[in-house]
Amino acid sequence: MNGAKRSRVVISVDMEGVCGVSSWVQVSPPEFGGLVSGAEYERARVQMSREAAAAAEGAFAAGATDVLIGDSHDTMRNLLPEWLPERAHYVTGHDRPLSMVQGVQEEGVAALLLLGSHARAGSVRGPLAHTWNGFIRNVRIAGVDTGEYGLNALLAGHYGVPVAFASGDDVALSEIRAELGEGVETVAVKEGLSTFAAVHLHPAEAVRRIRAGAERGVRRALAGELSPHEARWPAPCQLSFEHQARADACERVPGVTRVDAVTVGWESPDAFHLFQTFRLLAKVAEVRLNG
């Protein structure tokens, strides 16, 4: 960063971990997924936008000079901009170079905030627990099982940016603290009961807690109290799927090796390579399974 003062904040907003959400119907845009959408999706969009706005206001209150809000769910066209603070910027569209954390590479970014976080694939009691899509079984980096939060935190760490705050369900936040450290400020907006059930805060209370938590987290980041997430490089990485045909396809990518029937592995020299290789393999794995 050439010694530049870090006072900017990037907020990545997913939808599965938003207060009130516990069904795929609630997070499925009408034109995708073949699920019945409508009033429940529109209501979830509003809450997603309210929580994003609350985090942005908290960041500004803590001293952030610029806030970029990234829509990070599905089509990445879910946020309702009229709910966002007028002084914030926002980014939409799914074909972004850094995907869910677009913006962390810019000069002067002090912190990444992860809103709407959900547990990784295979987690017990995590509402809508998954990693990236519905067919990835597990991601392991340097021997650690992780989810989207870990991938995003490592990529942010590549640019020297720590995760300062996370909100979502209690299972996801427990995983985040275990991997990223107890220094990350967290706010649970719901308690997971099963894959499709949760006990939620009132939406307004969730917004209040997110604003306060984001402010605390950003204050710590601006004070230099947080460290970027890092892994040992070159990091051995593994990606497993629910069907071996997906591993068959990924094994053909140069630099990728077969670990077992449903798992492939590779080594990355840094987090940028890791993240882009993961994205490539997730796309390659979108194969037809009927032969």
pLDDT of 36 over the 60 cut: no
Is residue 248 predicted with pLDDT exceeding 70?
yes
- Residue 112 phi, psi dihedral angles, 5° rounding: -115, 135
Q: What is the mean pLDDT of the chain?
A: 95
CATH fold of 8-130+148-222 reads Rossmann fold (3.40.50)
Token pair of 285 as six digits: 């794995």
- CA 28, CA 110: separation in Å to the nearest integer? 32
Banded model confidence at residue 35, pLDDT cuts 50, 70, 90? low
| Fold category of 235-284 in CATH | Gyrase A; domain 2 (3.30.1360)
Spatial strand order of the sheet with 8-13 comes to: 89-91, 66-71, 8-13, 109-117, 163-169, 185-194, 197-200
- Tell me the per-residue pLDDT of 47-106, one tens digit each, with 9 for 90 and over: 999 999 999 999 999 999 999 999 999 999 999 999 999 999 999 998 999 999 999 999
Q: In the chain, what are the helix, strand and coil shares in percent, each to the nearest 5? A: 35, 25, 40
229 among known catalytic residues = no
- 30 pLDDT tier (thresholds 50, 70, 90): confident
Say what the pLDDT of residue 1 is. 38
Q: Please give the pLDDT value at position 4.
A: 57
**39-43, 152-156, 219-223, range with the lowest pLDDT:** 39-43
- Whether the predicted pLDDT of 34 surpasses 50: no
* pLDDT on residue 287: 80
Q: Structural domain boundaries of the chain?
A: 8-130+148-222, 235-284
Residue 234: asked if its preceding bond is cis (omega within 30°), the reply is yes
Of 190, 164, 192, nearest in space to 176 by CA: 164
Q: Per the annotation, does 118 bind a ligand?
A: yes
Whether residue 242 is annotated as binding a ligand: the answer is no
Please indicate if the annotation marks 260 as binding a ligand.
no
CA-based torsion, 250, 255, 260, 263: positive or negative: negative
pLDDT at 200 over 80: yes
**Residue 73 labelled as part of a binding site:** yes
pLDDT tens figures, 236-247 = 999 999 999 999
Q: How far apart are CA 132 and CA 121, in angstroms?
A: 9
The active-site residue out of 130, 158, 229, 273 is 130
Is 270 annotated in a binding site? The answer is no
Q: What percent of the chain shows pLDDT beyond 90?
A: 91
Q: CA-CA distance, 154 to 109, in Å (whole number)?
A: 15
Can you tell me the distance from the alpha carbon of 220 to that of 9, in angstroms, rounded to the nearest whole number?
12
